[in-house]
Structure 1
Amino acid sequence: MFALLCSRQLLLTKSRRSELALFQQNAFFILKSFTSIGLLESNEPQQEEKHSFRMSYLINSCGLSPKSATLASQKMNFVNPEKPDSVLNLLKENGFTNTQISKLVRTHPLLLLYDPEKTLLPKIEFFLSLGVSSSDLAGILSSTPFLFTRSLKKHLIPCYDFLKSVLLVEEKVLTTLKRSPRAFLYNVTNNMAPNIALLRQLGVPQSYISFLVINYSSQAFTTHTRFVEAVHQVMEMGFNPLKMVFVHAIQVLLKMSKPKLESKLELYKRWGWSKDMALLAFKRNPICMLLSEETITKAMDFLVNEMGWPSANIAMNPAVLLFSLEKRIMPRFSVIQILVAKDLIKNELSLSTILIPKERRFLEKFVIKFQNDIPQLLNVYQGKMDLLEVGSRSEKKSPRQQQFIERLVS
């Protein structure tokens, strides 16, 4: 009997639900019909008016383009300018330019709806208290507006305290903020803290740890599992934790995916490097693996094909690949070619002797020293005169030039 009653009650419930659904459906169509013939007002004009107001405000008050304003207006809703105006006034009072404000709003439009006194001002005051100038802070926050989204007490202050415990000096924390403001967005507890602890366990000097945090904060904040993997790879390659190159190698591996690294190794292989040569180059200067394929190809083509330099010599001095081909490598070799042709260079020169010295040292040793002999030398170096104009090139190289090139490739 009880089961029968339950069954009847269930049937009645289902029937009522069906009737309710049918009623709601009919009501929807009736209201829609009334709206279409004008018996009821549609809220579409009102919504369109609000949208038009937001668009006008974003364009006229925030300096956004119509396209950017359209995108921004879809992420926010306000019907009067009171709160947005108060936000803009606060930003202007704290040194933000119109261009920076436009960039802020374009990147994070919801910022206009924040409470300026409770949410924005305390964070601005916090960063200013660290010693950041108002102009620098405006640049930092406009480039990284999501700093405004972080809790001051739960995130920004603890992040600062941790960075200070790692870097030891307040000025270095300030440098980190200026160079890598995104460092203040990361979770220090889950990632950076164990990463730094691992480096200290391996004996990496404090100065090198500071260098990593200040210059490569994204890599320092990498997930701990990924960081451990990179450290193990570097250790297996034979890098010494007591050397700065150890830190460089870690950050390079963290920036590159395995397929990307393999493609770079394959590219160098096409220029004659064996696997051992590539490993040697990486150990001498890991940054050479971060160069674009175009940069590598152009530099190798000039040094190997035009200057006749064995690719093995470049593997021994991979730092030369980091120099600008147009601004450093070619101008210096132009000078060397002239000096060789004029029999003014008596000593053997290596690749590193030509390209590694700083600008002033190179000028003193290879340009100023020979200006009395070749007045046009500086013009050639500066790209104001072609080699042909000083008679340094001919279809047939001079014996002295040929001898020099033979020494280079030996």
Structure 2
Amino acid sequence: MAAPLVRRSLTNLFPKNSSSLYKSHVFYTQNLSTISENQPIDAPTVSDFLMQKHNFSPEAASQVAAGLTSLKTLENSDSILSFLKESGFSSTQLERVVKYRPAFLSANLEKIIKPKIRIFQDLGFSADEISLIIPLVLHSSVNNRLIPSLSVLKNLLGTDLQVAKVLKVSAWFLVTDLEKSLVPNVEFLKSCGVSVNQIIKLMYIVPRVFLSKPENMKKFVEKADEMGVSRKSGMFIYAVRVVSSMTDESWEMKVKTFRSLGFSDNDISRVLRNAPMVFSVSENKIKKIVEVLVGTGKYDMRRIVNNPTSLMYSVEKRYLPRLRVLEVLEKRNLIKKWPCLGTFHLLSDSKFFKKFVAPYLDEVGEVYDGR
């Protein structure tokens, strides 16, 4: 079935009266090196090569071929794809790499591709992980960019394992001049009293903040200072993270949302000090959570202000299933009072089930879907 489908797809690329032209596009299977190097190979030939020789889908082959306007030989491309297969790349991973960066197929295998593949293999990366990173660093010099960047990261993180862990979160550390971004940003945060452990923790969570311009990092810290977050607090680094992810306009919009719900400026500052990640929650979600919780008649705004992390959970997956259970238990006089908001929103699903569902399974089993 696959062969007829491929033939039909290829046939659609050419006029019906061009059978001789079509035949000329498949002769690479006999001898790739016979293709002339004096002029670029046309897109149909490249597409056919990718489908027939390396099992690319018609869609992927067409997309890649369209991006290779100056390819003059298929022999090098064939060697590259064969090498990646030998290195453990699946067809899906090959397509991912080449679709993202079609120029990959015209790169120098020995000087550009192999050294980079070896670097990531030595760090313990899987073929799938390499397929996500290698297109980003295709044009990065091994000696002038990759090795210096890896050296900076290892000096900070200590081991290849930790370097690999950070790079799996973000490969952007390898395409940026770390001496102009990461190094001064880390030194500045250390001068603010932030521990190296906190800095490393943030690198795993939101690495790109460290690639900001040093002057921007200073602005993020100043903003966190203005909101009253102590530099000695464990929340300080998270406050910096939140501030770094927001424009002035989005910050003002978030503040207006809190005010419209009844938060005072002191309340807003306290939220940032105690639970800065709440500022990452969308305005619509915050409004919906407040509406649902206050709508129960059991939790008021003061309790929400005192438990700001309650604004970070899912209405559909956490709150509604639990509220249905508590409403049934109350109506049937199985509980005398509802749990406080802190307990209600922080209990894990398993603990909530054990405390409020399992003892009354016959009564509430049909209404609880939060296990």
- TM category (shorter chain) comes to 0.7 to 0.9
Distance across 1 between alignment mates of 2:61 and 2:88: 23
CA distance in 1 between counterparts of 2:120 and 2:194 reads 30
* Distance in structure 1 (CA, Å) of the matches to 2:252 and 2:172: 29
Residue 375 (structure 1) aligned to one of 359, 362, 365: 362
Read off the aligned partner of 1:309 and give its amino acid letter.
Answer: Y
Question: 1:244 and 1:183, CA in 2 relative to 1: closer, same or farther beyond 3 A?
Answer: farther
Letter in 2 for 1:77: S
Identify if the C-alpha distance between structure 1 residues 49 and 181 changes in structure 2 by more than 3 Å, giving closer, same or farther: closer
**Which residue of structure 2 aligns with residue 127 of structure 1?**
120
- Residue deviations 1:324-375 (CA, integer Å, cap 9, x gap): 111111111222222222333346631111111222222222222x23xx52
Displacement of 1:77 in angstroms is: 1.4
The answer to whether the 8 A contact 2:254-2:283 is kept is yes
* 1:147-158 to 2 correspondences below 5 Å: 147-158=137-148
1:94 aligned to which of 61, 64, 87: 87
- Judge which range, 229-238 or 187-196, deviates more: 229-238
**Greater C-alpha radius of gyration:** 1
Does structure 2 retain, via aligned residues, the 8 Å contact 1:172–1:214? no
How far the C-alpha of 1:75 sits from its partner, in A, is 4.8
CA contact (8 A) 1:140 1:181 kept: no
Matched, 1:69 2:62: yes
Following TM superposition, by how much is the alpha carbon of 1:86 offset from its aligned partner in structure 2, in angstroms?
0.9
Once residues 338 and 327 of structure 2 are traced to their aligned partners in structure 1, the CA distance between those partners, rounded to angstroms, is 13
Q: Give the counterpart of 1:118 among 96, 111, 121.
A: 111
Aligned position for 1:261:
251
Cα distance in structure 2, aligned partners of 1:143 and 1:72: 22
Corresponding residue of 1:276: 266
Q: Quick check: 1:204 aligned with 2:194?
A: yes
TM-score by length of 1: 0.74
Distance in 2 separating the partners of 1:122 and 1:138 = 17
Q: Secondary structure at the match of 1:148?
A: coil
Task: Please show how residues 5-404 of structure 1 align to structure 2 within 5 Å.
Answer: 50-58=42-50, 60=52, 61=54, 63=56, 65-66=58-59, 69-70=62-63, 73-132=66-125, 136-142=126-132, 145-307=135-297, 309-346=299-336, 349-368=339-358, 370-371=359-360, 374-382=361-369
**Aligned positions, number:** 333
Q: CA distance change for structure 1 residues 207 and 383 in 2, over 3 Å: closer, same or farther?
A: closer
The alpha carbon displacement at 1:200 in A equals 1.0
| 2:318 partner amino acid | R
Corresponding letter in the other structure for 1:105: V
Cα offsets for 1:216-255 (capped at 9, x unmatched): 1111211111111101111222212233311111111111
Amino acid at match of 1:98: S
One-letter code aligned to 1:285: A
Amino acid at match of 1:375: D
Aligned partner of 2:8 in structure 1 is none
Q: Secondary structure at the match of 1:362?
A: helix
Q: Can you list the C-alpha shifts for 1:192-227, whole angstroms capped at 9, x where unaligned?
A: 101100111122122211101122111121111111
Q: Distance in 2 between matches of 1:74 and 1:382?
A: 49
Please list every run of 5 or more consecutive structure 1 residues that lacks an aligned counterpart in the other structure: 1-45, 385-410
Whole-Å separation in 2 of the counterparts to 1:248 and 1:106 = 36
State the percentage of identical aligned residues: 26
TM-score normalised by length of structure 2 = 0.82
Greater helix fraction, Structure 1 or Structure 2: 1
Instruction: Please give the alpha-carbon distance, in whole angstroms, between the structure 1 residues aligned to 2:48 and 2:57.
Output: 10
CA distance in 2, matches of 1:167, 1:375: 53
Q: What do you get for the CA RMSD once the two structures are aligned? A: 2.5
Shift of 1:166: 1.5
Q: Give the whole-Å Cα distance in 1 for the aligned partners of 2:334 and 2:132.
A: 55
Q: Secondary structure at the match of 1:131?
A: coil
Unaligned runs of 5+ in 2: 1-37
Tell me, in whole angstroms, the C-alpha distance in 1 between the residues paired with 2:232 and 2:41: 66
